Amino acid sequence: MSQPTEYNPKETAEKLGLLPEEYDKVVDYLGRTPNFTELSIYSVMWSEHCSYKNSIIWLKTLPKSGPSILAEAGEENAGLVDIGDGLACAFKIESHNHPSAIEPYQGAATGVGGINRDIFTMGARPIAQLNSLRFGDPESERTKWLLKGVVKGIGDYGNSFGIPVLGGEVFFDASYNQNPLVNAMSVGIMKSDRMISATSHGVGNPVFIVGSSTGKDGIHGATFASGDLTDDSADDLPSVQVGDPFQEKLLLEASLELAETDCIIGMQDMGAAGITCSTSEMSEKGGCGMDIHLDRVPTRQEHMLPFEILLSESQERMLVVVKKGREDEVLKIFDKWDLNCVEIGTVTEGPSLRYFMDGELVAEVPADSLVLGGGAPVYEREYKEPAYYAVAQAFEPSTLAEPSDLKEVARSLIGHVNIASKRWVTEQYDSMVGTINMSTNRPSDAGIVNVKGTEKAIAVTVDCNARYVFADPEVGCSIAVAEAARNIVCSGAKPAAITNCLNFGNPYNPEAYWQFVGAIKGMSTACKKFNTPVTGGNVSFYNQSTIEGKTVPVLPTPTIGMIGIVESKEHITPLSIGEEGQQLILLGKHNDDMSSSQYLIHWHKQELSRTPSFDLDYEHKLQEVLYGLITKGSIKAAHDVSDGGLFTTLLEMSLPLGIGVDVEVSGGRLDGLLFGEAQSRVVIAVDASDASRVLEQAHSAGMDAELLGSARGKDIVINGSSFGSVSSLGEIFNGALHKMMN
């Protein structure tokens, strides 16, 4: 086995990111000193990005099973949920944070490409994309540069690939200055009995690499994603992959054509750690080994070294294990789509993975020693409550003076980029390609995807208010799940399952790990309440920057991606007022709690406070009552009260058709009632003739409900006073992000 001259294995292991005890563990597994290529293999597979070594203990506490779950978390490339009619929905969310911080265009583009491959390697056709984006100070030129690059990368890749973007969120906070968060979600549809597993078995079966050629981009990308960003991180630019959406489109069609045959054993995307990850995970799952000949791998550069070929994260590639004797069928399909399809190895008796280069054995490792659930290390890290938490709990927002001009406050808030329309972003995405988006002309709280040939549709959303999670990780993450479910229900669907993207700081920092542990506890509690199992996702630690010697973690951001099932398309409910004369009803309680609201942060400059008022049992009851009213056909529009409070909700309901509202609001401080973000509140619009009946039904079901007023005129009128015309307020709301970027 070849290795560099003057090779010091312990020093090399440390440089590659392996801890001393991890190096010792490698020696124990192999029974000898590892060579450089083998150390490279362990360094990527035991990185946080691949092994989840600092998070898996807590991830195992999340609820994963349910009557409709066809693939539980960790079993396959993505989660799979039975939606009836012989169909299933595959979905997953993942991060591409560190690559996007260094090269925002390619970092974001390849994030989109990678998550789509996770979907179609299972045999599902991607039908919808969503994303959750976090950036730093909106006044910073770096923030604007990152935003432009990320949005263009998502738009160029997704638009070319031909999948509509149905939803997302964009949020700004100085904690993301150096380390933006780019979380991409993909949703696909397939026949429920045609899932392709990411497995390998059958001694002698051939192993193929298909898709693009392998280059030097993305080498040690998994290791790069498992460390802190520093002022020197630009030197890691080769760790950022380069994407080609047109090649991915060909790969999609070839893969789905292959899925219609019965000639494959298993298939897996080559994401983090490339060939290393695919060969080891598929082999471990099938209880077998592989002999892989690296010199047969199609490469973009000459004279690539074995470790470079193994660790490359070049995009648009997959590993396919084929039934022996069926090779020609596979070759014919990929030749039709003008893609590489090369036999690079065979399945062997377990458990060894053997990698050869020009006939020389360059690495030999047990497959199960590499992977999560096998021999990868598992740690339980220390955690402790940070000092800021007690300060936040002690602050009382009601001690702040109420502004004399709430109209000025309203204009200021709707003009802030965290509340204002994200049209500058969404206009760059194709939301209509494929003719399945049902929420383009009738926007709803969640995106709606038509399931053609059935009465059903799928509702999709991504949600997380990181400010709430920072204030109290357990309650804040419960709110994230609850708000996702609320958006699904407001749109006429029943929540089904979630995927998550857990973005936190350094796990070796006890205070950052405390945030992570609290978020997992809150997510688990809420998912059990809403019966939405966790189908998988992604953990992204080390989201922080070292700036002038000071380490700054991002706000803890456990992004929740949720799908729901619309049983009948008649139940699809828009968020906008449909016509003058409709009556507006508040489901839930009036509440003037301003804690952690954008109003408190941006108007009063108060960064630390509690989470907004939240009762999980009450929230669950609200959603049950709301869903019942929608399925009875009583509700014409529904929109939840969230960022920006009740005022923003009313404006967003008015904007699509330009219809004003005239409402009465009382029961506490008016600034808190209008701009506070207390949870478990939804504004619904009903026909005037139905208002009394809807109120009675809500009260009979044990839910608070109150008539706010009616839809009429062209202004937003509150307690008899106009806050401005819908059109003038809309100019502020719709133009804020354009103004920032111009």
* Residue-wise pLDDT tens digits, 387-402: 999 999 999 998 999 9
Considering the candidates 96, 98, 220, 293, report the single residue annotated as catalytic: 96
List, in order, residues 6 or more apart from 526 with CB less than 8 Å away.
477, 478, 480, 481, 482, 616
Question: 457 with 438: CB under 8 angstroms?
Answer: yes
Asked if residue 224 has pLDDT above 60, the reply is no
pLDDT at site 373: 82
pLDDT at site 225: 45
| Neighbouring-strand partners of residue 181 | 134
Asked if residue 243 has pLDDT above 80, the reply is no
As given in the structure block, the two tokens for residue 105 are: 């265009």
Report the share of the chain in percent with pLDDT over 70.
95
Residue from 90, 112, 95 nearest 256 by CA: 90
Q: Helix 104-120 and helix 245-259: axis angle, to 10°? A: 10
According to DSSP, residue 110 is labeled: H
Question: 36 with 7: CB under 8 angstroms?
Answer: yes
pLDDT at site 83: 94
Confidence of residue 309 (pLDDT cuts 50, 70, 90): very high
Confidence of residue 234 (pLDDT cuts 50, 70, 90): very low
pLDDT at site 242: 77
Q: Residue 223: exposed, middle, or buried by beta-carbon count in 10 A (0-12, 13-18, 19+)?
A: buried
Asked if residue 236 has pLDDT above 60, the reply is no
pLDDT at site 216: 86
Question: 357 with 306: CB under 8 angstroms?
Answer: yes
As given in the structure block, the two tokens for residue 31 are: 């029974």
Instruction: Give the alpha-carbon dihedral of 99, 149, 446, 427, to 10 degrees.
Output: -160
- Is 98 a residue of the active site? no
Distance of CA 633 to the CA centre of its chain: 32
As given in the structure block, the two tokens for residue 467 are: 């400010």
Letter for the amino acid at 466? A
List, in order, residues 6 or more apart from 54 with CB less than 8 Å away.
48, 379, 381, 507, 508, 513, 541
Mean pLDDT of 114-118: 92
Q: Cα(121)–Cα(115) distance, rounded to whole angstroms?
A: 10
Mean pLDDT of 254-262: 93
Other beta carbons less than 10 A from residue 361's beta carbon: 12
Mean pLDDT, the chain, whole residue set: 92
Asked if residue 223 has pLDDT above 60, the reply is no
Q: Cα(279)–Cα(267) distance, rounded to whole angstroms?
A: 10
Compute CA distances 570 → 633, 636, 685, whole Å.
8, 11, 16
Asked if residue 432 has pLDDT above 80, the reply is no
Q: Which of residues 222 and 416 earns the better pLDDT score?
A: 416
Mean pLDDT of 96-101: 92
Q: Cα(225)–Cα(100) distance, rounded to whole angstroms?
A: 11
Highest mean pLDDT among 156-160, 287-291, 435-439: 287-291
Confidence of residue 436 (pLDDT cuts 50, 70, 90): low
Other beta carbons less than 10 A from residue 4's beta carbon: 10
Cis status of the peptide bond prior to 397, with omega within 30 of 0: no
* Out of 176-190, 266-280, 325-339, least confident range: 266-280
pLDDT at site 547: 60
Mean pLDDT of 182-193: 94
Residue from 51, 597, 429 nearest 277 by CA: 51
Mean pLDDT of 549-561: 90
Compute CA distances 730 → 169, 342, 716, whole Å.
19, 56, 11
pLDDT at site 158: 87
As given in the structure block, the two tokens for residue 382 are: 């220390």
According to DSSP, residue 367 is labeled: G
Q: Cα(723)–Cα(399) distance, rounded to whole angstroms?
A: 25
Mean pLDDT of 175-192: 95
Question: 181 with 200: CB under 8 angstroms?
Answer: no
H or E element that contains 522:
helix 510-530
DSSP string across 39-60 = HHHHHHHTSHHHH-TTTHHHHT
Report the share of the chain in percent with pLDDT over 90.
83
Q: Cα(111)–Cα(96) distance, rounded to whole angstroms?
A: 5
* Residue-wise pLDDT tens digits, 441-485: 789 999 999 998 899 999 999 999 999 999 999 999 999 999 999
pLDDT at site 488: 98
Considering the candidates 49, 98, 220, 571, report the single residue annotated as catalytic: 49
Confidence of residue 226 (pLDDT cuts 50, 70, 90): very low
* Out of 132-141, 269-278, 506-515, 523-532, least confident range: 269-278
Q: Cα(58)–Cα(61) distance, rounded to whole angstroms?
A: 5
Could you tell me the end-to-end alpha-carbon distance of the chain, in angstroms, rounded to an integer? 58
Question: 99 with 49: CB under 8 angstroms?
Answer: no
Q: Cα(558)–Cα(498) distance, rounded to whole angstroms?
A: 12
H or E element that contains 501:
strand 494-503
Mean pLDDT of 172-189: 95
Question: 516 with 507: CB under 8 angstroms?
Answer: yes
pLDDT at site 235: 47
* Out of 38-42, 544-548, 550-554, least confident range: 544-548
User: CA-based Rg of the chain, rounded to a whole angstrom?
Assistant: 26
* Residue-wise pLDDT tens digits, 621-673: 999 999 999 999 999 999 999 999 999 999 999 999 999 999 999 999 999 99
Residue from 147, 84, 157 nearest 126 by CA: 157
Confidence of residue 438 (pLDDT cuts 50, 70, 90): low
What stretches of 56-117 adopt beta strand conformation (E)? Answer: 69-71, 79-84, 87-95
- Is 96 a residue of the active site? yes
| Neighbouring-strand partners of residue 90 | 80, 188
Mean pLDDT of 510-538: 97
Confidence of residue 3 (pLDDT cuts 50, 70, 90): very low
